[in-house]
């Protein structure tokens, strides 16, 4: 869909993600939900007391938007036009994204189905709004009246005009009709791609059960078969003749556990190949998506979809992105090759075979063994210091130390929650009062969105001169356990993920923009992941961890040596992981770059690029791109994660590292960056926060300075050693 109303697509983390939601004009109470216990609907929206309420929710959004369109047609002042446009955005976006959140997390089928229908209806209305010349002409006039607008209002007018034009409103009717149809097609293809991943995760059947380590049995489905030689006469003694095995469903979480813990090479190979070869239906879906996006970009006068998508970002062009990615690839290759050789040598030592090859399905198994050998890490011991309630206390501590604010529990009104596990927190400042609200839906359950994500339910905006609509967000994860259970303990990777998503949440909660159009994470795509990557550092720093990471039974503070071991294990194969992410970004740019004639098979492109840009071989019959959902949500924008890592490394080293929990550090982060959302230019905010040395200009675009990141990866030190030899 085009981007007038919803400026940022869902943003997914490597292991996870987040989306932007908004609220209607009728639901802007400062409480973010009722505190008096009176019944309400989902997320505090009155219409959503029942599943059928989604129908009225859509109706009212359309009715109110029509009123605002009529108001704008009467040619009010430029400032009033921008304010009315923002309310249209706030009103419609609410339905779009509350429907998405409901569809991803609600346990009742009726709610999910009604949310999906609401999504289709409101997206159809979005196309009407995005091709409305009354609105477009009013926005263009407002932009020209820059002297009558505040800086943020003028920026909003400029962005709205660009967003209209990205939807093709300036084209002739025939081309505009085609753009509209392509946007609808792209929307449905994205949904189909994502749904196929859920409905066809793939599976392999393994016999006997002894081939699978006992501690992962709980992830698998028991299956049975007759033993060989069983005759029809002996079927009566079924219990004595059946053989037990396991069905491995090769969705990412289970697949990773199998690859990490299973010593049987053949089991790992079978699981790896199947897990990277489904869903088959997505071959055609991806081809159609690439073709539709390319045709759209051509109509819009761009060389490629990458050109179309990157232009409004910091990078400004695919050439700048590719130059940055190739620079990173060249920088990391020697160390990644060195790590590959170390893993290969370890496998040969363990197997007793001097010439055995290292296979892609070996990576997780042998690197886990090498980390354990080097640092004597026991995952259950590590997890014993990260009971989920204690991790939530850690988030509270972080907010209080950095921003002088507190998180406290808020009672949920009847009907407000979508599941008993959901908790609600209020962010409160002693001088400013309530600043925003956070729903926590942290435990896994059947049918729930499978990753970790941050959904912003309301964006911040001024409703009147005296009333500010507070931001409301939902943090969704899939940890094992329940809020009624004291056994939920996280591995350190999950702690890092929690802090990552919390960084997104804080970006929204601390935002204080005039318009929801710029609230929180509504920023340039290659800037959006920076705060979340920055807050990952807090999950690794012992000065932070010792404040909340305590043994679930003894209360002992996590030992510093254990944290040092975690850090060492993380760094052992950091170059290998970075090389993988660079290759993903390169594939993303290539698939959505300029298209050859005839089009190349995506699997051959992926295979060639893996051979060229990683140390690992490609396995015939695997097609990881058909289950890589970032191609939908981050099409031509996956490089943004690498931008974020570099920006975050510089901010951490220059601003946070010396005293990461100081109020001075937090105040700088809040006042110079987080509170502005997208209302200021990202480059200006980064320079204001850090000064020189965080970014550089390249070919009319902006790329991160990689010095701090290179230093963190010890690449400069390694290069100096290499030159000395």
Catalytically active residues are 501
DSSP codes of every residue in 345-359: HHHHHHHT-TTPPP-
Is the CB of residue 642 less than 8 Å from the CB of residue 328? yes
Coil, helix or strand for 242?
strand
- DSSP assigned state of 300: T
Residue count (the chain): 725
Coil, helix or strand for 203?
strand
Nearest residue to 33 (alpha-carbon basis) of 298, 425, 376 = 425
CA 557 to chain centre: 31
The tokens for 707 are 């010095």
Is the CB of residue 12 less than 8 Å from the CB of residue 172? no
Coil, helix or strand for 553?
coil
Place of tokens 């159009």: 517
DSSP codes of every residue in 243-255: EEEEEEE-SHHHH
For the chain, what is the radius of gyration of the CA atoms? 26
Looking at the DSSP bridge assignments, the partners of residue 206 are 246
- Tell me the CB-side half-sphere exposure of residue 282, using CA atoms within 13 A: 29
Burial class (CB in 10 A: 0-12, 13-18, 19+), 487: exposed
Looking at the DSSP bridge assignments, the partners of residue 462 are 468
The tokens for 481 are 């356990």
| Distant-in-sequence, close-in-space partners of 26: CB < 8 Å, separation ≥ 6 | 46, 60
Greatest extent of the chain over all pairs of C-alpha atoms, in Å? 93
Is the CB of residue 404 less than 8 Å from the CB of residue 663? yes
**How far, in Å, CA of 259 to CA of 362, rounded?**
7
**How far, in Å, CA of 585 to CA of 525, rounded?**
14
Is cis: bond before 208, omega within 30 of 0?
Answer: yes
């Amino acid at each position: 869909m085009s981007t007038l109303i919803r400026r940022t697509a869902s943003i997914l983390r490597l292991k996870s993600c987040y989306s932007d939601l908004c609220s209607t004009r009728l639901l802007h109470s400062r409480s973010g939900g009722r505190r008096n216990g009176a019944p309400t609907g989902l997320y505090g929206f009155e219409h959503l007391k029942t599943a059928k309420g989604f129908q009225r929710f859509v109706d009212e959004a359309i009715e109110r938007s029509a009123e605002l369109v009529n108001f704008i047609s009467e040619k009010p002042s430029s400032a009033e036009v921008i304010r009315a446009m923002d309310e249209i955005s706030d009103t419609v976006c609410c339905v779009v994204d509350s429907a998405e959140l409901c569809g991803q997390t609600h346990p009742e089928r009726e709610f999910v189905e009604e949310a999906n229908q609401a999504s289709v209806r409101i997206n159809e209305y979005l196309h009407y709004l995005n091709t409305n010349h009354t609105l477009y002409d009013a926005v263009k006039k407002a932009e020209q009246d820059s002297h009558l607008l505040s800086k943020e209002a003028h920026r909003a007018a400029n962005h709205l005009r660009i967003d209209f034009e990205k939807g093709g409103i300036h084209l002739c009717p025939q081309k505009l009709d085609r753009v509209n149809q392509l946007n609808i097609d792209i929307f449905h293809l994205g949904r189909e791609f994502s749904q196929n991943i859920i409905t066809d995760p793939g599976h392999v059947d393994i016999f006997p059960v002894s081939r699978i380590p006992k501690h992962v049995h709980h992830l698998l489905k028991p299956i049975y078969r007759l033993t060989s030689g069983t005759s029809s006469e002996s079927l009566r003694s079924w219990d004595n003749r059946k053989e037990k095995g396991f069905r491995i469903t090769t969705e990412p979480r289970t697949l990773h556990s199998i690859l990490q813990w299973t010593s049987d090479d053949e089991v790992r190979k079978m699981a790896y190949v199947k897990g990277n070869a489904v869903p088959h239906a997505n071959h055609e879906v991806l081809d159609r998506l690439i073709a539709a996006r390319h045709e759209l970009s051509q109509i819009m006068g761009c060389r490629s979809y990458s050109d179309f998508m990157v232009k409004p970002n910091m990078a400004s062009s695919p050439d700048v992105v590719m130059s940055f990615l190739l620079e990173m690839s060249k920088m990391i290759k020697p160390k990644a090759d060195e790590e590959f050789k170390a893993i290969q040598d370890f496998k040969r030592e363990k197997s007793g075979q001097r010439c055995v090859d290292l296979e892609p399905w070996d990576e997780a198994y042998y690197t886990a063994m090498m980390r354990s050998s080097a640092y004597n890490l026991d995952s259950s011991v590590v997890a014993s210091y990260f009971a989920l309630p204690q991790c939530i206390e850690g988030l509270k501590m972080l907010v209080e130390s950095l921003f002088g604010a507190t998180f406290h529990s808020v009672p949920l009104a009847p009907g407000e929650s979508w599941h008993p596990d959901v908790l609600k927190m209020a962010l409160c400042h002693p001088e400013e009062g309530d600043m925003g609200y956070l729903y926590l839906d942290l435990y896994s359950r059947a049918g729930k969105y499978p990753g970790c994500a941050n959904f912003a339910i309301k964006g911040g905006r001024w409703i009147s001169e005296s009333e500010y609509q507070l931001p409301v967000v939902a943090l969704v994860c899939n940890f094992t356990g329940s809020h009624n259970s004291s056994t939920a303990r996280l591995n350190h990777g999950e702690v890092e993920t929690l802090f990552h998503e919390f960084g997104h949440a804080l970006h929204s909660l601390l935002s204080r923009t005039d318009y929801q159009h710029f609230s929180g994470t509504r920023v340039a795509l290659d800037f959006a992941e920076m705060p979340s990557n920055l807050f990952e550092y807090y999950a690794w720093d012992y000065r932070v961890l010792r404040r909340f990471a305590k043994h679930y039974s003894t209360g002992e503070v996590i030992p510093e040596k254990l944290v040092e071991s975690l850090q060492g294990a993380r760094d052992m194969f950091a170059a290998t992981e970075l090389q993988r992410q660079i290759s993903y970004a390169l594939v993303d740019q290539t698939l959505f770059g300029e298209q050859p004639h005839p089009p190349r098979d995506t699997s051959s492109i992926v295979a060639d690029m893996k051979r060229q840009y990683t140390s690992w071989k490609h396995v015939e019959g695997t097609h990881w791109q058909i289950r890589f959902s970032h191609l939908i949500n981050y099409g031509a924008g996956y490089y943004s994660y690498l931008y974020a890592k570099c920006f975050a490394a510089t901010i951490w080293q220059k601003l946070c590292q010396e005293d990461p929990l100081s109020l001075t550090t937090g105040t700088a982060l809040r006042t110079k960056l987080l509170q502005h959302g997208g209302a200021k230019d990202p480059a200006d905010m980064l320079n204001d926060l850090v000064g020189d040395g965080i970014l550089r200009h390249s070919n009319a675009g902006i790329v991160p300075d990689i010095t701090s990141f290179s230093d963190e990866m010890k690449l400069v030190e390694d290069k100096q050693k290499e030159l000395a030899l």
